[in-house]
């Protein structure tokens, strides 16, 4: 993969922020990135990593396999599987969970369904997907390409883009914007913390929000 | 708010009953009230309070804010947010959770989505909504009116109506009918308890149900 | 019920296998059986039993009751309720949960919704359904027939068919194929275990899968 690798400290900064705050920063910069409809298997999980992308297509008359890509991603990677939202067959299960966990992969995001939730829970390996199911994707879908642009719902993901996910769901931050989005997000986080401090010391929320410009925190700056 | 305030003991009686039993009593009186599609963040939570309603609309060309209403509701109130079932942007998050919890609000019901589920879980603040998401409603929706009639799915909610919610979901009891519905619900509860006692002492369910008229417990009385 | 009763040891063998592996074996034999859209109330639950089926229809002008069948099923039975996916009224609740639990029923599968989730959780009685709700089916649906062929989503269920369910969802194994499907499933399970052992001792997943023929494990044998 020729994608730029981010320093661990950048991913650590992402992990300090909720997907809410990161989504607000994307809004502030006029960028898409909030994925709809993918839910956490482990609501407490919070991950940040770079997208290792997989594009699946329905199998055709000539067949094809689900692939053996899972030996490749490692620490700092999030496996992103685009199965086009299909809920009738799975593209992730227990063996992949065990290998990914052993190899230090941050987590897996599936636009589709996954199986063997119990193994993921018992290994504390985080997954975001539409729902659980049990039927295999073998002989139903095939791995079309690795590390190509894919989609999560209506959100485009390029290989290497930053994937952050928590109890709220999944956001995608384009790699070229990561430092800018992080800076804006940290600024929003500080202002929201200041609002909370004011509220905790007895101010009404209306006063505290007014003092810190809450209602335009995510509003794009005028051009 | 000029709405009639219910005595705390009335809300306590509601909290002793499940939404199942309250829904049966609404059926018995021919009233609507069972809300479809809103799920609990905390399945063990059980609340009763009067509706403090908020009507949101999509933002238009002239803009508008999400509002600063949250300083107003308190003990005995349930915040009811009608965002028309939208799942693409949130109308409830961490700061509102913290203020509502501090002010003694019973809980929040959203026909739409909410964010910062972790903060709600850690503060044990109960929320019912369609699902979780992270994208803000700011610059997407605006607060149109406070304490006006709104909807949760197909169920109408007037300010002051009684909102009861538990692991099964949300029911709405019109304020003018609360004493009547409560009396019917408590009668149903007693009969169901009697059926359970008979069953526990060895009777078949068929016999016990027959003895207590189970199959017409919720059937409206003939006019 | 004239249906063939399976020996307890057969159901025990089913319970040792995940629905994933059983679904793979159904695939290998070209049989349907993977049910979509029914989710576990208790993700850790794992059951196997024979279908005691119930067919519900909407109530008509002449009325009808929800029935008193629940005294009949016992150990080795799974209650299968076909309410055609309706989400506006429930066909399972607290009293039925308590009776079924007392009578040793394995669990309940509803193509529709159920109520009183708290009682099911506190009694550790497993249920799979579309979601929770609270409105009764009384005066909305009626019990049309007991132990007739029914559907779970698009999957046909005959009385006595084997129902296996776990955190992934529900699979249906036709009674006449149970020994054949079990044998294939146990063979798949052994091969997957061998792959995992190889991976745990340092082999890549690609090598381990190649060694054990993973990519055709569920592929139907050529005719």
Nearest to residue B146, comparing CAs of B67, B33, B38, B202? Answer: B67
Distance, in Å, from the CA atom of C208 to the CA atom of C202, rounded to the nearest integer, reads 10
In a domain, B209, yes or no: no
**C-beta atoms of C117 and B36 within 8 A:** no
Q: How far is B175 from chain C (nearest CA, A)?
A: 20
Name the residue with higher pLDDT: A65 or B163: B163
In a domain, A27, yes or no: no
**C-beta atoms of B133 and A39 within 8 A:** no
Q: Which residue in C has a C-alpha nearest to residue B43's C-alpha?
A: C118
Distance, in Å, from the CA atom of A33 to the CA atom of B120, rounded to the nearest integer, reads 24
Q: Do C187 and C165 share a domain, yes or no?
A: no
Q: Which domain holds residue B114?
A: 33-173
Q: Do C143 and C187 share a domain, yes or no?
A: no
Q: How far is A23 from chain C (nearest CA, A)?
A: 29
Distance, in Å, from the CA atom of C169 to the CA atom of C31, rounded to the nearest integer, reads 17
Q: Is the dihedral of CA B221, B184, B28, B4 positive or negative?
A: positive
Place of tokens 């939202």: A85
Structure tokens, C122: 């506190």
Q: Which residue in C has a C-alpha nearest to residue B218's C-alpha?
A: C138
Nearest to residue C27, comparing CAs of C206, C173, C175, C210? Answer: C173
Conformation bin of residue B116: beta by default, left when phi > 0, alpha when psi is -120 to 50: left
In this predicted model, what pLDDT tens digit does every residue of A132-188 receive, in sequence order?
999 999 999 999 999 999 999 999 999 999 999 999 999 999 999 999 999 999 999
Domain count, chain C: 2
If interface means Cβ-Cβ distance under 8 Å, which residues of chain B face chain A? 65-66, 68, 70-71, 87-88, 90, 93-96, 98-99, 102, 115-118, 121, 131-136, 138-139
Q: Do C41 and C104 share a domain, yes or no?
A: yes
Nearest to residue B156, comparing CAs of B177, B140, B137, B141? Answer: B177
pLDDT score, position C132: 96
Q: How far is A112 from chain C (nearest CA, A)?
A: 13
Q: Are A98 and A119 in contact (CB under 8 A)?
A: yes
Under 8 Å CB-to-CB from A218, ≥6 apart: which residues?
A24, A25, A27, A28, A188, B136, B138, B139
The two most distant CA atoms of chain C are separated, in Å, by 68
pLDDT score, position A223: 62
**C-beta atoms of B138 and A218 within 8 A:** yes
Give the CATH number, domain containing residue B73: 3.50.30.40
Structure tokens, B194: 């009697």
Question: Considering only CB atoms, which chain B residues are within 8 Å of A217?
Answer: 138
Q: Do C72 and C42 share a domain, yes or no?
A: yes
Classify burial at A165, counting beta carbons within 10 Å of its beta carbon; exposed 0-12, middle 13-18, buried 19 or more: buried
pLDDT score, position B51: 98
ipTM, two decimals, is 0.93
Q: Do C100 and C73 share a domain, yes or no?
A: yes
Structure tokens, B206: 């068929």
**C-beta atoms of B95 and A219 within 8 A:** no
In a domain, B119, yes or no: yes
Polymer length in residues for chain B: 223
Distance, in Å, from the CA atom of A209 to the CA atom of B66, rounded to the nearest integer, reads 12
Classify burial at A61, counting beta carbons within 10 Å of its beta carbon; exposed 0-12, middle 13-18, buried 19 or more: exposed
Q: Do C32 and C65 share a domain, yes or no?
A: yes
In a domain, A148, yes or no: yes
Question: Considering only CB atoms, which chain C residues are within 8 Å of B152?
Answer: none
Binned average pLDDT, 10 residues per bin, chain B of 223 residues: 86 98 97 97 97 96 88 97 97 96 97 96 97 96 97 97 98 98 97 94 91 86 71
pLDDT over 60 (residue C1): no
pLDDT score, position B2: 61
Q: Do C186 and C164 share a domain, yes or no?
A: no
- Site from B71, B134, B137 to mutate, A interface, most A CB atoms within 10 angstroms: B134
Structure tokens, C45: 């639950």
Mean pLDDT computed over every residue of chain C:
95
- Which among B20, B169, B204 has the least Cβ separation from residue C93? B20
**C-beta atoms of A118 and C43 within 8 A:** yes
Nearest to residue A160, comparing CAs of A40, A67, A32, A73? Answer: A73
Cα separation of the two ends of chain C: 36
**C-beta atoms of B116 and A206 within 8 A:** no
Positions of E strands within chain A: 39-40, 47-58, 77-90, 107-114, 127-129, 131-132, 141-146, 150-152, 155-157, 162-166, 169-173
pLDDT over 80 (residue C196): yes
Q: Do C18 and C37 share a domain, yes or no?
A: yes
Q: Are A77 and A49 in contact (CB under 8 A)?
A: yes
In a domain, C41, yes or no: yes
Q: Do C117 and C209 share a domain, yes or no?
A: no
In this predicted model, what pLDDT tens digit does every residue of A184-217 receive, in sequence order?
999 999 999 999 999 999 899 989 999 998 888 8
In a domain, C3, yes or no: no
Under 8 Å CB-to-CB from B188, ≥6 apart: which residues?
B21, B24, B25, B28, B217, B218
Q: Is A133 helix (H, G, I), strand (E, B) or coil?
A: coil
Q: What number of other Cβ atoms are within 10 A of residue A75's Cβ?
A: 11
- Which among C71, C118, C132 has the least Cβ separation from residue B206? C71
Over residues C174-191, the mean pLDDT reads 97
Q: Do C167 and C188 share a domain, yes or no?
A: no
Over residues A16-24, the mean pLDDT reads 98
Question: Considering only CB atoms, which chain C residues are within 8 Å of A68?
Answer: 204-206, 209
Over residues C179-207, the mean pLDDT reads 94
pLDDT score, position A181: 98
Over residues A83-98, the mean pLDDT reads 97
Q: Are A161 and A175 in contact (CB under 8 A)?
A: yes
Q: Is C47 helix (H, G, I), strand (E, B) or coil?
A: strand
The CA-based angle A73-A78-A82, given to 5 degrees, is 100
Classify burial at A149, counting beta carbons within 10 Å of its beta carbon; exposed 0-12, middle 13-18, buried 19 or more: middle
In a domain, C2, yes or no: no
Q: Do C94 and C198 share a domain, yes or no?
A: no
Q: Do C196 and C152 share a domain, yes or no?
A: no
In a domain, B15, yes or no: no
- Which among B27, B199, B215 has the least Cβ separation from residue C65? B215
Structure tokens, B209: 């149900």
pLDDT score, position A2: 61
């Amino acid at each position: 993969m020729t994608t730029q690798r981010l320093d661990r400290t950048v991913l650590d900064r992402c992990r300090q922020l909720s997907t809410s705050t990161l989504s607000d920063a994307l809004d502030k910069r006029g960028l898409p990135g909030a994925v709809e409809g993918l839910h956490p298997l482990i609501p407490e999980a919070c991950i940040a990593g770079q997208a290792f992308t997989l594009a699946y297509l329905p199998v055709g008359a000539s067949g094809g396999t689900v692939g053996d890509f899972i030996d490749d991603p490692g620490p700092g990677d999030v496996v992103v599987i685009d199965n086009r939202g299909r809920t009738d067959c799975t593209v992730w299960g227990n063996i992949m969970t065990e290998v990914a966990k052993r190899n230090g992969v941050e987590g897996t995001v599936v636009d589709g369904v996954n199986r063997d939730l119990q193994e993921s829970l018992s290994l504390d390996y985080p997954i975001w997907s539409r729902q659980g199911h049990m039927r295999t994707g073998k002989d139903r879908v095939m791995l079309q390409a690795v590390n190509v642009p894919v989609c999560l719902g209506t959100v485009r993901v390029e290989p290497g883009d930053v994937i952050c996910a928590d109890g709220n769901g999944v956001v995608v931050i384009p790699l070229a914007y990561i430092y800018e989005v992080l800076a804006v997000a940290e600024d929003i986080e500080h202002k929201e913390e200041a609002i909370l401090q004011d509220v905790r010391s007895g101010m009404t929320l209306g006063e505290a929000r007014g003092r810190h410009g809450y209602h335009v925190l995510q509003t794009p700056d005028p051009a």
